[in-house]
A and B are shown apart, each in its own frame.
Chain A
């Protein structure tokens, strides 16, 4: 699997994604299969080439982060937060389905690609950790996502429609992350210590957010501008939360690259194993 591997080919890396595969099927209700598809804006052709790869990258970001957030179900620190985290996870899953559907069949892409074919940034695949880690991950990612989607929505490119819908959701995610960063940073001694460890621990995954992504239709200067704005906004939130801006590197030292090139961290493989296991165990089945 190489970095420029197109999404269509990536989707085919699964052991079986064809129809029925000879499995005796009782299916006689066409509705079930049909309804498993997603609301891809009708009439919009599927993307190909660089835009398709970009759709996968953004779709995978949303899919993977949604999955991580959903792991909180039944474990949140307070009941109100069960509802809040689920709302964010559902928004992200909705974004993922729209974006993946621009590139192909959402379920084939989500369930039948192997680890190296996923294009999400490493930040979103990082395990939940304690609530502070989850909030730090949300803060870093949602500020980035808001900056990006605002530009995409204004740009009129292939992602304008999806971004216009998502940007309102993302603004709320960013607000949620900010509110909690302030409370945990400037809460108790323990919460300050945990939040501080979290923002430091995830810092080295934040550089990747601003690697130029071909196919988005953005101005070539956009990534650098977004990165500057991101740094400014993060510094402001951390400052108000009585936290220091981490001073470590914002990239890993490994020259091979990172998530956008299909190189992921070890926990990601386990996450996918869990996510894909049932779907892959019943090749060709409808759900």
Chain B
């Protein structure tokens, strides 16, 4: 790894107002200012965005596949969190 390799950044783009930023990809840049500009040129050159976030890849904490079961399985058996769990008599409205 030579000193002219720039750090990696993750790019998040808000495609239009009212939507949240979603991950678009990554790129290399020496600092946040250029990362934002590179992201603008690379990921929004077809007018795909109205707002951009860049985050150093090294700063993202991610859940690990080892913890997948512990993280996500317990949520799978709680159907009472979903509206479809409940039976409502026909004819009852606005509920």
Contacts and interface: CB of A to CB of B under 8 A. Distances in A.
A, B bound: yes
B37 A78 contact: no
B34 interface: yes
Interface string A42-86: 000000000000000000000000000000000000101001100
A84 B41 contact: yes
The A contact surface, by secondary structure, is helix
A183 interface: yes
B28 A83 contact: no
A78 B6 contact: yes
Contact of B33 (A78, A87, A179): A179
Given A80-B27, A80-B28, A87 B41 contact: yes
Contacts of A251: none
Interface residues of B, number: 12
Contact of B45 (A78, A80, A87, A183): A87
Contacts of B29: 80
Contacts of A176: 37
A179 B37 contact: yes
Interface in B22-47: 27-30, 33-34, 37-38, 41-42, 45
B33 A84 contact: no
Contacts, number: 25
Contact of A183 (B27, B30, B38): B30
Interface string B37-75: 110011001000000000000000000000000000000
Interface string A74-108: 00001010011001000000000000000000000
A84 B45 CA distance: 10
A229 interface: no
A80 B5 CA distance: 12
B41 A179 contact: no
A175 interface: yes
A78 B29 CA distance: 10
Q: Which 4 A-B pairs have the closest CB atoms?
A: A80-B38, A83-B41, A84-B41, A87-B41
25 contacts: A78-B6, A78-B28, A80-B27, A80-B28, A80-B29, A80-B34, A80-B38, A80-B41, A80-B42, A83-B38, A83-B41, A83-B42, A83-B45, A84-B37, A84-B38, A84-B41, A87-B41, A87-B45, A175-B37, A176-B37, A179-B33, A179-B34, A179-B37, A183-B30, A183-B34
